[in-house]
Amino acid sequence: MILEMKVPSPGESIKEVEIATWLVKDGDYVEKDQAIAEVDSDKATLELPAEASGIITLKAEEGDAVAVGAVVCLIDTSAAKPSGDAPKAAPVAEAPKAEEKKVEAPKPVSQPAVTYATQAPSPAARKILDEKNIQPTDIVGTGKGGRITKDDAVNAVPSMGTPTGGNRGSERTKLSMLRRKVAERLVSAKNETAMLTTFNEVDMTAIYALREQYKEEFKAKHGLGLGFMSFFTKAVTRALQLYPDVNSMIDGQEKISFDFCDISVAVSGPKGLMVPVMRNAETLSFRGVEAEIKRLALRARDGQITVDEMTGGTFTISNGGVFGSMLSTPIINPPQSGILGMHNVVDRAIVKNGQIVIAPVMYVALSYDHRIIDGRESVGFLVAVKEALENPVEHLMNGNAKKALEL
């Protein structure tokens, strides 16, 4: 029996996927539920499991874009699994070779060298080279007598300057569907929103002290690290409730406001940037936030994140500080209206109570869509985040750190 394997739907809005990598070869025997391919959608990279055991015949090439529901391979379920202990067939004796006749190769006939076409481009090639601003003398023609063909012109790249020694190789690879979609969305966000960024600084002394005091006890009880993200998530959900316009989005000529906080968290995965969502983050405790972030980060790292886990979100937090970023202007994740950028923590000289002291300071940035969020809301939101982080026991823990940390 021949089973036709079709591309399953990764999500409601996805109509097409791309075969990123075949994990098996044509003619291989595959087991049921074995991962046979990785497919890229515009939101995630997913594994395609075999629906039955048998011999597989591939019907699509790597890099092919295929519609959801299209047949990508056939599995012959009646084929027996090959045995590794099967006896080897006896070698077949070679038939005696017929006596070979010696045939003399014809002597080459000297022809006059064709010099008039050397490095002279064809009319079509000339037009392409002019558009690329490339001189014919900069490339080698593959046509007769060194003539520059249209294909030579199409494949030509501008000179990178005069070589001064060392390796000068280059490689051209096709962007994955996920990377192309991310690029498209970033350009769309820049072109279709009135994006502005406001900045502030946060004295992290209080959070450092809390983590130093409770991190061992927190880890021993919950099996989780007490990181910055739980403090920032709690500070953001509090600020979103104080400034609900930041937790809204535009749909045509209407504004949609949410009474819940689904926080998208930008994480770096093996296939690029992914933004899984913490649902109803306003209801999560410190332990709950740390557990959910760990769960989503592991799934993103292992390539197991689903489209549903990255769909939606009312606000985004991006932590460029883990890579050493001092300051940035994060790009809005549409259709959301705001994104908070975290950065690295550096000891800086600041003024406290009229005295210059050294304190761990983080710069934070809020990018927002000015079409729906005014300056008062954007600045007020970031100040609310700052005050919560600088006084977390009062604003985030109701005056009782041990109870908030469930210790």
Distance CA 277, CA 316 (A): 9
Reference 196, options 293, 105, 330; nearest CA is 330
Q: What is the DSSP string of 300-368?
A: HHTT---HHHHS--SEEEEEGGGGT-S---PPP-TT-SEEEEE--EEEEEEEETTEEEEEEEEEEEEEE
Q: Which residue in this structure is represented by tokens 């983050």?
A: 281
Does residue 6 sit in helix, strand or coil?
strand
Is position 374 annotated as part of the catalytic site? yes
C-alpha distances (whole Å) from 87 to each of 27, 80, 82, 90 are 20, 16, 12, 9
Kindly name the residue from 138, 152, 374, 395 that is annotated as catalytic. 374
Q: Does the CA dihedral 339-343-349-353 come out positive or negative? A: positive
Kindly name the residue from 76, 151, 370, 395 that is annotated as catalytic. 370
How far is C-alpha 54 from the geometric centre of its chain's CA atoms? 34
332-336-337 Cα angle (round to 5): 70
What tokens appear for 188 in the block?
A: 């769309």
Sequence length of the chain is: 407
What tokens appear for 291 in the block?
A: 């557990």
144 DSSP 8-state letter: G
Is position 152 annotated as part of the catalytic site? no
Q: Which residues are catalytic?
A: 370, 374
